[in-house]
Each structure stands twice: as structure tokens, then as C-alpha cells.
Amino acid sequence: MKLLLVSFWFPPTNEIGAVRVGKLAKYLVGQGHDVRVLAGPAIGNLTLPLEIPADLVTRAGEAPGGAGAAAPSRRSDLLQRLLPMDPSGQEDIFRLHYYALRHIPDKRSPWRAPAVAAGLKLFESWRPDLILASGPPFTGLVVGADLSAASGIPWIAELRDPWVGNPYILWPAWRRLLDRALEWRTLRGARALVTVSPLVGRDLARRYPMPVITVLNGYSQDDLPSPAPRPRTERLSIVYTGAVYAGLRDPSALFAAMALLGPRAAEVEVVFYGPLANSVMALAARHGVERHVAVRPGIPYLDSLRRQAAADVLLLLQRNHVSDEGNIPAKFFEYIGVRRPILLLGCETGVIANMIRERGAGVVSNDPATIAAHLRGWLDMLPQGIADAPPAAREGLSREEQFAAYERFLTGGLASPAP
């Protein structure tokens, strides 16, 4: 099959969206498919391995300041500007509406024109059977729809996050209505829709007539660190890798639990790796445990996996609200892959919470007393070492297994002419 992947984010840019699309490209090329990628410029942290030949990637648009320049603020940057606001403040209200008006459908909208031009030029010498566009940023889906309309090539939309109803994007009401209209106008011509969560897929299936499938992110077996004895320490190492959204992904319950430990709190160390995590220090100070919390810069993808594998416990943060029931961050599958126990703070009725419980992969709680009891138990286990989650915890969740189903779906007649 000849397949064009469209995604603003792609390796070597170290963005979580680039991980999935990069791994999908690697898998499909390895299966013998003729794959090309239409991507945005390589910007920001260029530490994510590019695992397909570079000549298969067409990059549209110029990086500000040249290749490797600092990336313009990513989604989490925008969220941090929008969310920690006093809703009564006129300046904050103005700023919210300003960003909502300026970034339609998102801040990568200027990429649309050069990406479509680059795609049509590519079609002059190579014509795919199918276009697969992935977002966010959802400008990538608009590009996929434009290329399909201009060429007659069928296309598929992959939504790694919800476009409508995303619990982490708190736009004003007028913008939410606009996004619903933009989503419908863009997706209505797609041959099929792909999501990474069954609940998001269920919502899309109610609103659209085309096939909708769920392909989970999964973990990459080839990237997992080689098994090795973890260093024995006198402190319980709890690690979080990823962005922290102030007011939405809140580690306060863990800090409150540490405070309940009294002097034993000194035996716990919590380390946050990732952008914009400094807000956690104020929360830790509020509970008097800031001496036992550290914030460090984001690290490359493979280094992140090594830090996860060396930890005693992995912290996973989710919004503690029913609107986040269907969200399954890609980070969850990295945690599952390295098999360290997971401590989830957030929605206790969501897909992730149920998977952790059913698979024996860790603890789900927002109650400081319950968390403190588990911390004491883990501390007591330190001398002999805290056991991995059972092998069955990650059964069926590798990228290879998920992408095999994806491949069958893509080659199952979707590239045939529309009826």
C-alpha cells in the first residue's frame, strides 16, 4: 500500500505526538508498505530518534531561526497561560478570548498553506492510495482534508486527543461551538476515523456515519531498557515524566499523604521531569514536603524510559473529573511497558483507572490516608525491593500488537474508490 502520513509533529522533534506517528511510520515501512511523511519543521528538542529513512519525510514550513530553533510554545504552554487565571480578572478574560480567536483551529494554522502545497507537489511524482492525517495539532487534519479534496485520494483522520470536548482546553462557549463546526466540516469527508480511546471513539461514532476504530498508543518493546537490578536506596523513588497542567493534573493528594507520614516523609523522594512542572513546588510547600520534591527539565524519550524503569513507583496524573474518563495519555503505556507500580491520582472511574485495577498495575486513589498507607507499604518493601507489576499487566498493549490491527484496518478496502 502507498500511504501518506500527515502530522505536524514528527521525529526528531521530541513531542509526545511525534512518538506515535514516528512509531507508526516505522512499523508500516517495516511491513513493506510504501510510506511517505508530510511533517512540520524539525524544531525544539531534537532528541527523538528518526527511525525511517530521512528521504521519506517531506518537511513543509520553515523553523523560526532555522532548523533546531526553540519551538514556539507547545500546547501545554498555551494551557498554562490560559488555565491559572482569576476568572474575575478582566485581563485574563481578554487573554482567553484573544487566544481563542487567534488560534483557529490551533496555533499551527499557518502550516496549512505550505503543507498543502508540499503535498500536492509530492503527488506529481508519487501518488498514495490513502492519506492518514494525525492530530493534534488539528491543522494536520485540515491539511489531510484539503489534500484529499484536491486530489481525490481518500483520507483517514486520526484524533490522538478529542477535538471537541477536550477536558484540558477550556475555551469560551463561542469557541467550543466554532470547534464543533470546524470538526464537522473537516471530518465529514474522511473515509474513517481513528482514536486512541474507546470512550472518545464511542462519542465520534454517535456523531459521524463512517467507521470509527480505537488503536491504543501502546509501548515499544524495542525501546524498553534491558532488565537490570535497580539500585537499592534508603529512599522511595517516585518519578513523574511529562507536563503538569496547573489546576487540572494535581499532585496535592500525594503531598498530603507524605505529610501524614511524619518523619518517614524524609524517606520519600518525588522527582518531576518535564516542562512547566515548577508549579508543583508551591503545592509541595503548602504541605511542608518541598524538601522531598525535585523538579528537573524534560529529558529525551529513551532517557525517560530508563528513569522510569529505575524508579520504585511511577506517578500518573489525570484530571479528577468525569470529563477525563476517556483520556488515556501515551505516558500510561510507557509506564506499563517498564512494569513499575503506578500511582494514579485523578479520575477514579476512567478507562485508565479500570485498566490499572484489572491488570494489577498499581494504585488508584485521591485519598491522602489511603495513599499514605500504600507509601508505608512500599517503604517497608524497600530492603528486598519493590516487585514489578505482573507480566499480564501489559498483555496486548505493545505498539506492535496495536499497529497490527491498525494495518489490517488500513488495508481492508479503505483505499478503494468512494461509492
State the CATH number of the domain containing residue 356.
3.40.50.2000
Confirm whether 85 is domain-assigned.
Answer: no
Alpha-carbon distance of 97 to 90, in angstroms, equals: 11
pLDDT of residue 71: 39
pLDDT by residue for the chain (419 residues), tens only, comes to: 999 999 999 999 999 899 999 999 999 999 999 999 999 999 988 999 999 999 999 999 865 443 433 333 334 333 433 343 444 466 778 888 888 889 999 999 999 999 999 999 999 999 999 999 999 999 999 999 999 999 999 999 999 999 998 877 878 999 999 999 999 999 999 999 999 999 999 999 999 999 999 999 999 999 999 876 666 678 999 999 987 877 788 999 999 999 999 999 999 999 999 876 568 999 999 999 999 999 998 889 999 999 999 999 999 999 898 888 998 989 999 999 999 999 999 999 999 999 999 999 999 999 999 999 999 999 999 999 999 999 999 999 999 999 999 999 999 878 766 55
* Domain membership flag for residue 93: no
In a domain, 86, yes or no: no
Q: What is the pLDDT, as a whole number, of residue 80? A: 37
Whether residues 214 and 350 share a domain: the answer is: no
Question: Residue 17 belongs to what domain range?
Answer: 2-73+105-218+399-410
Q: What is the pLDDT of residue 70?
A: 38
**Residues whose CB is less than 8 angstroms from the CB of residue 16 and which lie 6 or more positions away in sequence, other chains included:** 242, 329, 330, 331
Rounded distance, CA 133 to CA 17, Å? 12
Same domain, 286 and 358: yes
| Co-location of 168 and 308 in the same domain | no
Q: Has residue 182 been placed in a domain?
A: yes
332 with 383, same domain: the answer is yes
Residue 61 and residue 137 in one domain: yes
Any domain includes 418: no
Task: Please indicate, yes or no, if residue 278 is contained in any of the structural domains.
Answer: yes
Domain count, the chain: 2
Tell me, yes or no, whether 185 and 330 share the same domain.
no
Is 415 a domain residue?
Answer: no
Same domain for 160 and 28, yes or no, is: yes
Confirm whether pTM is higher than 0.85. Answer: yes
Q: Does 125 share its domain with 66? A: yes
Residues 237 and 139 in one domain: no
Indicate if 194 and 297 belong to the same structural domain.
Answer: no
DSSP lists the bridge partners of residue 345 as 317
State whether 198 and 59 are in the same domain: yes
Q: Is residue 83 part of a domain?
A: no
On whether both 207 and 246 belong to a single domain, the answer is: no
- Residue of 211, 404, 408, 386 whose CA lies nearest to 312: 386
